[in-house]
Amino acid sequence: MGTTVGNILISYDVDAKNPEVKAALLQLGYRDRWNFTGQTKIYLLPNTTLWHPNKSSDQGFIDMQTVCNGLNVKLEKAISVKATEFVGI
């Protein structure tokens, strides 16, 4: 069980309405970009990957299920993990 609160990363596949799913998750405080402290460059995450600075991985998974159920969308694949470091291009 993922109950530790902190940075989490979620990634998912849905059968339809990804723009609406993503918009709903962004409204819940998820983010699709990050930057390193002291730097101005912005890094974008892949299209169906988001992060949140203050949730548990359990809550991230619940949020995905709740959003998909509310939009009547099938959540085909999903993962929610604690993320302590970010590296990317």
**Structural domains in the chain (count):** 1
Tokens of 67: 């959003």
On whether the CB atoms of residues 42 and 35 are closer than 8 A, the answer is yes
Residue 64 lies in a domain: yes
Residue 56 lies in a domain: yes
Residue 33 lies in a domain: yes
The pLDDT of residue 41 is 87
Q: How many CB atoms lie within 10 A of CB 54?
A: 10
Residue 73 lies in a domain: yes
On whether the CB atoms of residues 82 and 7 are closer than 8 A, the answer is yes
CATH number assigned to the domain comprising residue 23: 3.30.70.2360
Q: Which domain holds residue 52?
A: 6-82
- Global pTM reads 0.89
Residue 87 lies in a domain: no
pLDDT at 54 over 90: yes
pLDDT at 1 over 70: no
